[in-house]
A and B are shown apart, each in its own frame.
Chain A
Amino acid sequence: MKIPYYPGCTLNTVSKGFDLSARASARSVGFEMEELAQWNCCGATFPLSPDNLIALSAPAKVLANARKGGEELTTLCSVCYNVLKRTNAVMKGDKEKRSVINGFINEEYDGSLSIIHYLEILRDKVGFDKVKAAVKKPLTGLKTGAYYGCMLLRPFEDRGIDDSERPVIFEDMLKAVGAEPVEFPNKIECCGAHLAMSNTGLVTKLSGNVMTSAADNGAEIIVTSCPLCQYNLEQSQTALASATGDYKPMPIIYFTQLLGLALGQPVETLGFEKNVWDAMPLLKKKGLA
């Protein structure tokens, strides 16, 4: 099974480990991610003001290009997923906007692509039972907090990846690879997102709330599917650790890195060296690396 794949800007650069571990894991569970021959940045934000059609032209171009090569498109980054899926809904459902946007990007795209997140492929196409069967190194006893953030889930009308208030898709994946998912209240709360650019204090507070919530509930490691969440959560721990003496920073990694580890990829190929908070001591302690 080959599935066309949109990496987006960040996965081609600072989050290369996310991309590589996902591609290798896909091969282990029986599908191939085929990067689009031509793609551009999705714009990294879905415009919430509906008259802002210019901001839809970049993601619509991505979709138009992807449709030339197939009927579905997968992506890993939560933001790319959100932007592409919502733009696709506009292209499909709004004739007037579709015609303006198509005129601008010089395409005839009709919204007929189906946008599926990598986690959805694992759940719906591969099946978590098959993922489980492919595991070579079960992550037994690894208490893992799955951080969803916003963009995988909201808004929910037939677009989110799972229930927007009580999602389980991440936890189900973690169970499949033998890890122990940890429930924590802030798993669907915002990390502060792009306010990292203009208001560090706010991001430190929101991300700090996420991290203390996870830590208080026993998490030893966090998995995410968004490079910006990953960055913000990592940054917040520096402030948390210096503000409260008893807070112990934990590694924050991409879910595919954990998946890759369980599926038997060599630990040095997973891209852990890019993390601010090193995952290796914990993985060694658990006998996983």
Chain B
Amino acid sequence: MKIRLSGADIDGPRVKHIERVTGEDLKHCYQCGKCSAGCPVSYLMEVPPSRVMRLLQLGRVDDVEAANTMWVCVGCVQCYARCPKGCSVASVLEGMRQIQLRKGTGPTLIKDIPIPFLRKAPQQALVCGFRKFVG
């Protein structure tokens, strides 16, 4: 795959915005891959956690936004617990979700939430789910 890199993207306002919302310095990541190895959802992610960090370092915000990654991350914080550099991919993904939700462009529609789940689930699941995926 050919990737075009540009300084304008790498230091661009979108990357800065992500760093501000997520509180993470993306350049700290040195690509050891421990986050992807520990992440229980890597198997389902179009872009696994360590690659999220790499793509953002390269200014490729669109590639991360287009992937399902931020919407299947469960926020278990295993990536952060195991990162030798103290990076939190969990925070990066949550911040990127927040950026979508604040624009009102999250993919979760209330009407799609299964009724049996709404009837039986513990309250905390609904409160948490709505906060993470609806806004």
Nearest neighbor of A47 in chain B, beta-carbon distance: B94
Total number of residue pairs linking A and B with CB closer than 8 Å:
134
Contact B124 A150 (CB under 8 A): no
Docked pose: A245 CA to B94 CA in angstroms:
39
Contact B94 A195 (CB under 8 A): no
Contact B21 A49 (CB under 8 A): yes
Tell me which residues across on chain A come within 8 A of B126, comparing CB atoms.
197
Docked pose: A165 CA to B38 CA in angstroms:
12
CB of A190 within 8 Å of the partner chain: yes
Docked pose: A45 CA to B98 CA in angstroms:
14
| Most chain A beta-carbon neighbours within 10 Å: one of B22, B77, B108 | B77
Docked pose: A164 CA to B76 CA in angstroms:
12
Tell me which residues across on chain A come within 8 A of B127, comparing CB atoms.
9, 41, 43-45
CB of A48 within 8 Å of the partner chain: yes
A 157-184 binary contact with B (CB < 8 Å = 1; else 0): 0000000110000000000000000000
Contact A154 B74 (CB under 8 A): no
CB of B132 within 8 Å of the partner chain: yes
CB of A280 within 8 Å of the partner chain: no
CB of A8 within 8 Å of the partner chain: yes
CB of A227 within 8 Å of the partner chain: yes
Q: Which residues of B contact A (CB under 8 A)?
A: 20-23, 40-41, 44, 71-72, 74-78, 80-81, 88, 90-91, 94-95, 98, 108, 112-114, 117, 120-133
Say whether chain B's binding surface is mostly helix, strand, loop, or mixed: helix
| Selected contact of A155 from candidates B44, B81, B95, CB within 8 Å | B81
- Which 4 A-B pairs rank lowest in CB-CB distance, beginning with the nearest? A197-B129, A190-B76, A48-B94, A50-B23
Docked pose: A228 CA to B125 CA in angstroms:
6
CB of A192 within 8 Å of the partner chain: yes
Contact B76 A196 (CB under 8 A): no
Docked pose: A228 CA to B128 CA in angstroms:
10
| Most chain A beta-carbon neighbours within 10 Å: one of B44, B81, B91, B114 | B81
Docked pose: A47 CA to B127 CA in angstroms:
13
| Selected contact of A227 from candidates B22, B44, B81, B122, CB within 8 Å | B122
A interface, size bucket:
35 or more
CB of A193 within 8 Å of the partner chain: yes
Contact A44 B95 (CB under 8 A): no
Tell me which residues across on chain B come within 8 A of A189, comparing CB atoms.
40, 76, 78
| Most chain A beta-carbon neighbours within 10 Å: one of B44, B90, B128 | B128
Min CB–CB distance A150 → chain B (angstroms) = 4
| Most chain A beta-carbon neighbours within 10 Å: one of B22, B74, B108, B122 | B122
Min CB–CB distance A148 → chain B (angstroms) = 12
Docked pose: A278 CA to B69 CA in angstroms:
37
A to B CB contacts below 8 Å, 22 in the list: A8-B124, A9-B127, A45-B75, A48-B91, A48-B94, A48-B95, A49-B94, A50-B22, A153-B81, A154-B76, A155-B81, A189-B40, A193-B74, A193-B76, A194-B132, A195-B129, A197-B133, A198-B71, A198-B113, A202-B72, A209-B40, A230-B122
